Amino acid sequence: MNIKDFESALKSLEEIVAQLEGGDLTLDRALELFEEGVKISRFCNSKLEEAQRKVEMLTRTAGGNLVETPFAAPEGDEGGAP
Amino acid sequence: MHLFAERRIYSVSEITAEIKRDLEDRYGEVWVKGEISNFRHHSSGHMYFTLKDDRAQVRAACFRGNNTYLRFRPDDGLEVLVRGRVSVYEPRGEYQLIVQYMEPVGVGSLQLAFEQLKEKLRREGLFDAAHKKPLPLLPRKVGIVTSPSGAAIRDILRILDRRNASLDVLLYPASVQGAGAASEIAAGVRYFNTRSDIDVIIVGRGGGSIEDLWAFNEETLARAVFHSVLPVISAVGHEVDYTICDFVADLRAPTPSAAAETVSGAREDLRATVRSLQHRLLGGMSLGLERRRSVLDRLALNRAFNVAPNKVRELQQRFDESTVRLKQAMLGRARELRHRSETLAARLGRVDLGRTLDRRRDALALEVRALEAALRGLVRAKQSRLELAAGKLDALSPLAILERGYAICRAAGGKIIKEAASLSPGDLLDARLARGAVECRVEKVRP
């Protein structure tokens, strides 16, 4: 399986499903495609769940390096100051 | 002689210098309104032009030190109000205005600057649709360039909270108004492009006056956005505010909140898409198995034919091996889902993430149930001993051979006759055709 991003995975999965639904496959080929499809859908699900919501801000250290520190949204009402 | 004795004779330089001094003392600083013509922006940075009205004209110069602060680009035909000093350019003996400040008449200078830069960048092709990069379907991490204390970041985080978006956020803090803001924002865009973990960039700020939003109308930011390899969403002010940055960006979001909706919106739809593809995957596979089984069932009814038993057993075995692999793949998936829901349940006990995880756990449970139902269907389909590779069997099938016009001859005992010599004239034969059979008597043998 040569799948690296979600976009191409989804595209491959769509193609596999279309081929399986189209019939005209040998049984071996159908099974091969099915297993490939199961792998790809597993990959898609893992991508969908992978990111949490980490919110960080870059701050510059005394040495001039940028470091990431946790960030919380400023208090305030809707709209308001820019 | 005395006529000449009273004469005061100036050199050209002297009289010019005196006129210059008088003019400068007499007028000091003046405001003049007129139309620009013969405008030239010299490579030295100085600007030279003529100011005119319908009856007169005056030469004018605006030196680099002054014109870098102009927010619009002077050009021929523009009506302007200038502030400057009257002076004389001695080498040419021409009087001129040394312009310190000017603004367009009629339209605000910011508005004019906006239109001018927009036109310039449009001509250069910075707004062309061909340069717009597609946004990632499923961004994992978004880089935001805005003020850490502003409304924009607050609105964006609130939307991501509300949608429970699983998306990491990295904020590059930048001033979003005032001198240097455009450069700071541009630096943020360039910085995110040096990282490998950012999928999309949002630049923006909350609403304000045209002066407040000005940083987003500056060329330095427009160029940084244009050169960004990562897709950039511009989210400046309110729906009615359009900035140069909006035109250059790959997507203009009407507000920062809308930008947050855009980067988080697709995930739920994609979950549904993947789920539906999984079901179709199972459905497509089951359908293929059903089709094959029905062909085999039909063949199996024709027990009159002795279908190469070894070949059948071999195919049966291969089919069984394949279906075992299939079953393992599916059980693996079900186990994985169950494991994940258990892990989440365990984490629920530890961290109170509330109904969010409850929902996710319910969704997972549903998915597991759907998968198990599909699995049961497949296992049922597999239980038949006759699930063989039907396509291959078709090629071997005697029915297919008979269809081509051959017959199968059997002796009285049912034994298939392969050699003429095994028969004698007068013997009875049974000849099986594609449809029906005939009884025959041997007339003559030609071994």
3-class SS of residue B159: helix
Cβ-defined contacts of B419-426 (< 8 Å, 24+): B419/B447, B420/B445, B420/B446, B420/B447, B421/B445, B421/B447
Is 3.30.1490.20 the CATH number for B128-269? no
> Pairing between strand B428-432 and B408-410?
antiparallel
B157 contacts in A (CB within 8 Å)? Answer: 55, 73
Q: Angle B98-B99-B101 (CA atoms, 0-180°, nearest 5)?
A: 160
Q: Give the separation between CA A66 and CA A59, rounded to whole angstroms.
A: 5
Total Cβ atoms within 10 A of residue B85? 15
Q: Give the separation between CA B175 and CA B371, rounded to whole angstroms.
A: 52
Which residue is associated with the tokens 């059948």? Answer: B312
Q: Supply B219's token pair.
A: 């060329």
Chain B closest CA to A65's CA: distance in Å? 12
Q: Contact, B155 vs B255, CB < 8 A?
A: yes
Q: Contact, A54 vs A38, CB < 8 A?
A: no
Which is nearest to B330 in space by CA: B373, B366, B361? B373
Name the amino acid, one letter, at B285: M
Q: Give the separation between CA A82 and CA B212, rounded to whole angstroms.
A: 9
A26 contacts in B (CB within 8 Å)? Answer: 389, 391-392
Best of B198, B277, B314 to substitute, by most chain A Cβ atoms within 10 angstroms, is B277
pLDDT band at A79 (very low <50, low <70, confident <90, very high): very low
Q: Contact, B30 vs B83, CB < 8 A?
A: yes
CATH code given to domain B12-106: 2.40.50.140
Cβ-defined contacts of A64-69 (< 8 Å, 24+): A66/B191, A68/B170
Q: Supply B254's token pair.
A: 């009407």
Partner-chain residue, chosen from A17, A48, A68, that has the shortest CB–CB distance to B277: A17
Phi and psi at residue B404, to the nearest 5°: -85, 0
CB contact under 8 A, A10 and B270: yes
* DSSP classification of residue A73: P
3-class SS of residue B307: coil
Q: Give the separation between CA B211 and CA B229, rounded to whole angstroms.
A: 29
A51 contacts in B (CB within 8 Å)? Answer: 140-141, 166-168
Kindly state the helix (H) or strand (E) to which residue B4 belongs, with its residue range.
Answer: helix B2-5
CB contact under 8 A, B322 and A31: yes
3-class SS of residue B399: helix
The dihedral of CA B91, B92, B97, B98: what is its sign?
negative
Name the amino acid, one letter, at B239: E
B7's CB contacts (< 8 A; 6+ apart) are none
A29 contacts in B (CB within 8 Å)? Answer: none
Q: Flag whether residue A81 sits within 8 Å of chain B, measured between CB atoms.
A: yes
Q: Angle B76-B80-B82 (CA atoms, 0-180°, nearest 5)?
A: 120
CB contact under 8 A, B154 and A76: yes
B319 contacts in A (CB within 8 Å)? Answer: 27
Partner-chain residue, chosen from B165, B171, B326, that has the shortest CB–CB distance to A34: B326
One digit per residue, pLDDT tens: chain B, 447 residues? 555 567 788 999 999 999 999 999 999 899 999 999 999 999 999 999 999 988 899 999 999 988 887 878 888 888 899 999 999 999 999 999 999 999 888 776 777 788 889 999 999 999 999 999 988 888 889 999 999 999 999 999 999 888 877 789 999 999 999 889 999 999 999 999 999 999 999 999 998 888 889 999 999 999 999 999 999 999 998 888 889 999 999 999 999 999 999 888 777 778 788 888 888 888 777 777 767 666 655 655 554 444 455 555 555 566 556 666 666 666 666 566 556 655 655 554 444 444 444 555 555 556 555 555 555 555 455 444 334 444 444 445 556 666 767 788 888 777 888 888 888 888 888 888 877 888 888 888 888
| DSSP-H helix ranges across B61-128 | 64-67, 109-124
pLDDT tens string A1-35: 456 778 888 888 888 888 887 767 777 777 788 88
Which residue of chain B comes nearest to A68, CA vs CA? Answer: B170
Which residue is associated with the tokens 């002796």? Answer: B411
